[in-house]
């Protein structure tokens, strides 16, 4: 059982549709990050959320940190084929040596 | 250019033959980590280092060793590789722990036969 559960694991949608990816845990995190990974590359940071209830926007992407800092969501509006990739959430726990713990990932495919 | 460099990118080896995957960063980061990535399991941390000569186990350390003799380098050593260590490996570095951005290398795809 993973500390961070992401859902769905796979998502295939048409261009223009909206989608939400969830990242859930029973643990509290001091901060939570979202990364995007493309084939043959390492993950690249999209955003870090720190405060419970925080909402951050990055163009068509909206990230939210749960009030209790145990969960997060990523919402994409009007998805485009360029959004295709593996989305990973990662939580930081200060009392665990500031280790970055990753969820299992959501593989998104946006079809033209 | 700020980067994390791993070598080799691809490696096929036989069971029991010792190997080292190198990792080097040019950003003067204190914190470095090794992860393995397997389908459906995301990235699992193998070992991490908060500074020179300071290393600690992550979630899946069995069968691996690391060393941190210099700030920029953090090699991953497999003394006796086994087929269950076939995976995609990533090295990452951060300024410190906490919520700072992790910069990843391009990955090393290892196959143990």
* Mean of pLDDT over chain A: 93
Please tell me the predicted confidence (pLDDT) of residue A94: 72
DSSP codes joined into one string, A39-102: TTS--EEEEEE-STT-EEEETTEEEEE-TTSSEEEEEESS--GGG-EEEEEEEEEGGGTTEEEE
Count of C-beta atoms within a 10 Å radius of residue B17: 11
Please tell me the predicted confidence (pLDDT) of residue A85: 96
**B105 to chain A: closest CA residue:** A42
Q: Would you say residue B97 has pLDDT above 80? A: no
Please tell me the predicted confidence (pLDDT) of residue A100: 87
pLDDT tens digits along A69-85:
999 999 999 999 999 99
Please tell me the predicted confidence (pLDDT) of residue B52: 95
Mean pLDDT of B72-90: 98
Q: How confident is the model at residue B42 (pLDDT cuts 50, 70, 90)?
A: confident
In chain B, % of residues over pLDDT 70: 98
Question: Which carries the bigger pLDDT value, residue A89 or residue B95?
Answer: A89
Residue A5 phi/psi, 5-degree rounding, is -105, 125
Min distance A43 CA to chain B CA atoms (Å): 6
Please tell me the predicted confidence (pLDDT) of residue A2: 63
Please tell me the predicted confidence (pLDDT) of residue A98: 76
Contact flag B42-A105 (C-beta cutoff 8 Å) = yes
Q: Would you say residue A51 has pLDDT above 80? A: yes
From the list B44, B50, B104, which residue is nearest A43 (CB)? B104
From the list B43, B45, B50, which residue is nearest A88 (CB)? B43
Please tell me the predicted confidence (pLDDT) of residue B40: 77
Please tell me the predicted confidence (pLDDT) of residue B38: 93
Q: Which of these, A67, A44, A43, lies nearest to A55 by C-alpha position?
A: A67
Determine the Cα–Cα distance for residues A23 and B70; give it in Å rounded to an integer.
36
Task: Please report where in the chains the tokens 């969820």 appear, as a residue.
Answer: A103
pLDDT tens digits along A89-106:
999 877 767 788 899 999
Mean pLDDT of B84-100: 89
Residues from A in contact with B at Cβ < 8 Å: 2, 4, 6, 9, 30-31, 33, 35, 40-45, 48, 50, 88, 90, 92, 94, 97-105
Dihedral-angle region of residue A85 (phi above 0 means left; psi in -120 to 50 means alpha; beta otherwise): left
């Amino acid at each position: 059982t993973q500390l961070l559960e992401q859902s769905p694991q796979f998502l295939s949608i048409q261009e223009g549709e909206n989608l939400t990816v969830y990242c859930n845990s029973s643990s509290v995190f001091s901060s939570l990050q979202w990364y995007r990974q493309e084939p043959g590359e390492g993950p690249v940071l999209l955003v870090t959320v720190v405060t419970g209830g925080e909402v951050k926007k990055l163009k068509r992407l909206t990230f939210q940190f749960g009030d209790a800092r145990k969960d997060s969501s990523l919402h994409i509006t009007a998805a485009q084929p360029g959004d295709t990739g593996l989305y990973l959430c990662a939580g930081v726990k200060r009392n665990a040596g500031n280790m970055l713990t990753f969820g299992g990932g959501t593989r998104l495919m946006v079809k033209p | 250019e700020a980067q994390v460099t791993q070598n080799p990118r691809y490696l096929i080896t036989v069971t029991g033959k010792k190997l080292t995957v190198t990792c080097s960063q040019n950003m003067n980061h204190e914190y470095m980590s090794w992860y393995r990535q397997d389908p459906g399991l995301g990235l699992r941390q193998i070992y991490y280092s908060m500074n020179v000569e300071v290393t600690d186990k992550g979630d899946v350390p069995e069968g691996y060793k690391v060393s941190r003799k210099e700030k920029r380098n953090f090699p991953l050593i497999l003394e006796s590789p086994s087929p269950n260590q076939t995976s995609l490996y990533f090295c990452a570095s951060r300024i410190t722990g906490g919520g700072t951005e992790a910069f990843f290398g391009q990955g090393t795809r290892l196959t143990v036969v």
